[in-house]
Amino acid sequence: MQSELLESLFSLKGKIAIVTGAARGNGKAIAFGFSECGAIVYLVDILQDNLLDTIKEINNENARPVIADITNIANLRAIVGQVITQEKKIDILVNNAGISISEPSESYSEDAWDKTYEVNLKAAFRLSQLVSQHMIECREGAIINITSLGAELGFANNPAYAASKGGLKQLTKALAKDLAKYNIRVNNLCPGYIKTDMTIKSYNDPELYKERLERIMFNRWGEPEDLVGPAIFLASDASKYITGQDLFVDGGWLAKGV
């Protein structure tokens, strides 16, 4: 009985998912979790070698690689076209791909600003738009946007990251309103400090490592695996009455306050 309830709430069996930025880090962990829960997962990334290694490592027949740069709209159309041709539907989209280019605000380059916006915000919107057209036909779907504490708090030396993640957070709220009538849920999953390639420089810098650590109630940096349960929750029927929300997976950073 208990396992039947668990299955009905959290199983992703028969679901079709797209996870962007899935070759490594947070996206890889989320894609692995989804595939273990029964979903067929299309892992999208620009890093061909990492992606192919990840598919081998996941070692699960549910994982499919798609090598693509998501800042190109033609690529986004091709990804969605490929999944629809092969699977006939898309149930779950995780807009996880992201970049962070750290430069002081005083001299932040236009190039860094544009690149950050293209990946972190514009691609997430365009892909959500393309995918939701198919979710609308099925009258069902879950979109999860991976935001950041930078969407809540201004971080130093990275205005484009904070602004793009703040935009993504609000995009979620807007899409939740527009898509609720089709039973499509749109939520934010907001990681705290997670040890990945994106944060490895501050992880390896003793001063920055300690500064971050002191803000975390659990007194440890996060691991990509910490995001798996919350992502499954937001993708599954367990959260079928939840939309337009932020789920913080930050070891208590935000709640700790000053």
Ligand X SMILES: NC(=O)c1ccc[n+]([C@@H]2O[C@H](COP(=O)([O-])OP(=O)(O)OC[C@H]3O[C@@H](n4cnc5c(N)ncnc54)[C@H](O)[C@@H]3O)[C@@H](O)[C@H]2O)c1
Catalytic (active-site) positions: 161
- At what angle are helices 25-36 and 48-58 packed, to 10 degrees? 30
Residue 198 contacts ligand X per CB under 6 A: yes
Residue 226 contacts ligand X per CB under 6 A: no
Residue 98 contacts ligand X per CB under 6 A: yes
Residue 166 contacts ligand X per CB under 6 A: no
We find the least distance from the C-beta atom of residue 222 to ligand X, in angstroms, to be: 7
Q: How many CA atoms lie within 13 A of 222 on its CB side?
A: 26
Tokens of 107: 């001299």
Residue 167 contacts ligand X per CB under 6 A: no
Residue 208 contacts ligand X per CB under 6 A: no
What is residue 100's three-state secondary structure? coil
Strand stretches in the chain, DSSP E: 16-20, 40-45, 63-67, 92-95, 141-146, 184-191, 246-249
Binding-site member from 90, 142, 143, 194 for ligand X (CB under 6 A): 194
Tell me which residues in 24-83 interact with ligand X (CB under 6 A). 24-27, 45-47, 69-71
Region binding ligand X by CB under 6 A among candidate stretches 58-66, 96-104, 133-141, 234-242:
96-104
What DSSP character marks residue 154?
Answer: P
Burial 25-39 (b: 16+ CB within 10 A, else e): bbbbbbbbbbbbbeb
Region binding ligand X by CB under 6 A among candidate stretches 5-13, 21-29, 135-143, 169-177:
21-29
Using CB under 6 A as the binding criterion, the count of chain residues that bind ligand X stands at 27
Q: Considering beta carbons, is residue 141 or 192 the nearer one to ligand X?
A: 192
Binding-site member from 116, 158, 199, 239 for ligand X (CB under 6 A): 199
Task: State phi, psi for 20 to the nearest 5 degrees.
Answer: -90, 155
Cβ contacts of 45 within 8 Å, gap of 6 or more: 20, 21, 22, 23, 24, 27, 51, 65, 66, 67, 68, 97
Residue 145 contacts ligand X per CB under 6 A: no
Q: Considering beta carbons, is residue 39 or 144 the nearer one to ligand X?
A: 144
Q: How far apart are CA 83 and CA 174, in angstroms?
A: 25
Residue 146 contacts ligand X per CB under 6 A: yes
- H/E element holding 178? helix 159-179
**Where do contacts with ligand X occur on this chain (CB under 6 A)?**
20-21, 23-27, 45-47, 69-71, 96-99, 119, 146, 148, 191, 193-194, 196-199
